[in-house]
Amino acid sequence: MQADVLIDGYNLLHAAGLARVSYGPGDLERCRQRLLHRIRHGLDREQRSRTIVVFDGRGSDFRDSSEFRFHGMLVVFSAPGEEADDTIEEQIASHSAPKQLVVVSSDHRLHKSARARRATAIDSEQFLKEIDSRSSHDPAPKVVEKPELPENVDVWMDEFRDLDIDQIEKEVVRETRQKRDALDAQRADLRKKAANSAKSQAKPADSNSASKRTGKRNDRSSNHDSEEPSRDSDDEIFDLDFWESRIEELDQDGI
């Protein structure tokens, strides 16, 4: 493939602030992925199809192939014993239309090789500014990391290897049913107690006292009506909050 944009991958990685002094397992690949996502957000589909990103082959996690496609871009790893700069210089030297070629790197050696063939050389920092300004500023997709198994996973596998999962499931179902039946019985008993409590608190209404008249033999008489306030059983308020709240608690705890 002949590129219009030739990128020094690790040089751009440093300029983007993604490089580290040392890398743990998988760290270097995650950093490369973040860089590639940043590049692809700043280039359109046509530009990506004519872009080559070159990384040093040493430390590569890609053992089966020296190159792969990433959203249209060609990602290349230098051959064993070669550096990325060597591969980039070969690409510059073999390009059929070098005036159309843009070489992205802050390496003076590559700038010199590009100018020798009248290609355009651009510093990595400047390239990042340009692609970031074109980008829609959407965050790069997060690279999903595979969870690492604990070191003692084999010990736990041996510990639980003989467990009968079907038997455990049956026991859980049986215990769940027993608990549910017990809760149903307890709820029914509480409802019965609540009903009995309501009946025991009901009182018959007091009858109104008869009006009494006291007559006097003098010329002046006065009538005095004495009447006690009536109490209707419908006005009686029964406090069943305890039983109702208890039943509600059991309903919430039920399975």
193 and 155 belong to one structural domain:
yes
pLDDT value of residue 203:
55
Q: What is the mean pLDDT of each run of 10 residues along the chain (255 residues)?
A: 87 92 85 94 92 81 70 91 91 93 95 95 95 68 51 60 73 84 85 78 51 48 46 44 67 59
CA distances from 67 to 34, 57, 78, 83, 93 (A): 17, 10, 9, 15, 20
Joined together, the tokens standing for residue 119 give 């290609």
Report the domain count for the chain. Answer: 2
The pTM (predicted TM-score) of the whole model is 0.52
Other C-beta atoms lying within 10 Å of the C-beta of residue 126: 11
Report which secondary-structure segment, H or E, holds 51. Answer: strand 51-55
pLDDT value of residue 109:
94
Report yes or no on 222 lying in a domain. no
Report pLDDT digits (tens) over 144-197.
454 555 555 565 666 666 667 777 878 888 888 888 888 888 888 888 887 787
Host domain of residue 48: 5-148
61 and 111 belong to one structural domain:
yes
Report yes or no on 155 lying in a domain. yes
CA distances from 216 to 51, 219, 226, 227 (A): 125, 8, 17, 21
Can you tell me which residue has the tokens 């040493």?
58
55 and 165 belong to one structural domain:
no
119 and 237 belong to one structural domain:
no
72 and 186 belong to one structural domain:
no
In one letter, which amino acid is 6?
Answer: L
Alpha-helix runs per DSSP H in 106-217: 108-116, 124-134, 153-159, 165-201
250 and 138 belong to one structural domain:
no
238 close to 198: Cβ distance less than 8 angstroms: yes
pLDDT value of residue 176:
84
Report yes or no on 218 lying in a domain. no
58 and 155 belong to one structural domain:
no
In one letter, which amino acid is 37?
Answer: H
pLDDT value of residue 195:
79
pLDDT value of residue 134:
81
